[in-house]
Amino acid sequence: MRTAKRIFEEGTVTEPRAGKKVRLLTVYFQQVYEGKTYRFRRVMRAAERTMDRKGQLLLIPEIELEGWWTTLDLPDKEIIRLYEDHGTSEQFHSEIKSDMDIERLPSGKFATNALILSLGGLAYHILRSIGQRGLLGEKTPVRHPARRRRIKTVMQELMYLAARLVKTGRRLKLLFGRHCPAFGAFEAVYARLACG
């Protein structure tokens, strides 16, 4: 309760609605580790409710405390907004673990697992970029609109395409079927990546 008392005494106060006061407080910490000084920031928010949303007065005020440790150099409200959007982050973690099959790391050695995670991260970002460029345009083979596509969808729609690899005139070419639904999206991504 010392933290709540400090937030109530020192924090900046806003009142988003009648019966609810929100206080924000930022505290800075420094820690020295192996000769380097690290600076951390803790953003704390306390909400005090004396009335619920429907206007019912409460006998005992409800107090809700939240805190976020960060090294980001952004305003308090922006830090809170970013951390409240952690559900999106969880979706990305789920994609890396399930869609890319990196749920279990292959080795007991840290360096090997670090390499696998780094390569997995690189592959993930390449696939996300391909998905943004190829599956959100006009020539997309996917039938419903979306702001982003899962990695599994990108792999199914653009990576697992049936094509023949043909060598002609000292060049390698991919030949797709005449009625390939994803050819337009594949061609658009290839053209953007080939041209830079």
Nearest of 131, 172, 137, 177 to residue 153 by alpha carbon: 131
Angle, vertex CA 114, rays to CA 150 and CA 41, nearest 5: 80
What integer is the mean pLDDT of 36-52?
90
Q: Which stretches does DSSP call E strand in the chain?
A: 12-17, 20-33, 36-51, 57-70, 163-168, 171-176
CB 66 within 8 A of CB 74: no
SS3 16: strand
Alpha-carbon distance 41 to 27, whole Å?
A: 6
CB 21 within 8 A of CB 14: yes
Side chain identity at residue 97, one-letter code: K
Q: What is the pLDDT of residue 145?
A: 67
Q: What is the pLDDT of residue 143?
A: 64
Q: Quick one: what percent of the chain has pLDDT higher than 90? A: 13
pTM of the shown model: 0.54
Give Rg (Cα) of the chain: 26
pLDDT at 57 over 80: yes
Residues contacting residue 143 through CB under 8 Å, at least 6 positions apart: none
The per-residue pLDDT for range 139-162, each reduced to its tens digit, is 676 666 666 778 888 888 888 888
Residue with tokens 């000769």: 35
